[in-house]
Amino acid sequence: QVQVAESGGGSVQAGGSLRLSCEFSGFYFDQYVMAWFRRAPGKKLEGVAGIYKGHVTRYADSVKGRFTLSRDNGKDILYLQMDNLMPEDTGTYYCVADSTVRVGPDRMLSHEYVRRGRGTQVTVSS
């Protein structure tokens, strides 16, 4: 059974950093797409960063150069390193996953994922 679970959120000041973790199970990383989405207060869900078959990455324009995906090869964990955080990065962050049968690299940040974690809160103060 496909499962994902986020952790690592918190409160930081603008310019600070956080690293989110997504522990996953029930699938092979190189056969799936994994991504991070976020929902800011009063806004719709937004795709932030995604990784296709473990090697093709895509980032939203708003986070390029500041957010980085990586994987702990010894464990089934996908990280989202977030640097130079800004108040507009505030929101609930969700880890999602789906098979590459249903989503290609071009749709990683727009696909409607079924498998989603409970979310972790990120708050950036100015």
Q: Give the mean model confidence (pLDDT) for residues 85-103.
A: 96
Q: Name the average pLDDT for the chain.
A: 96
Residue 73 has pLDDT above 80, yes or no: no
pLDDT for the residue 105: 94
Asked if 63 and 5 count as a contact pair (C-beta separation under 8 A), the reply is no
- 6 vs 93: CA distance, rounded Å: 8
pLDDT for the residue 74: 83
- 89 vs 98: CA distance, rounded Å: 24
Q: Give the mean model confidence (pLDDT) for residues 107-119.
A: 93
Cβ burial of 123 (10 Å; 0-12, 13-18, 19+) is: middle
- 76 vs 74: CA distance, rounded Å: 7
pLDDT for the residue 21: 98
Residue 115 has pLDDT above 90, yes or no: no
Contacts of 94 (CB under 8 A, 6+ apart): 6, 36, 37, 38, 39, 45, 116, 117, 118, 119
Of 37, 6, 36, 4, the closest CA to residue 21 belongs to: 6
pLDDT for the residue 87: 97
Asked if 74 and 15 count as a contact pair (C-beta separation under 8 A), the reply is no
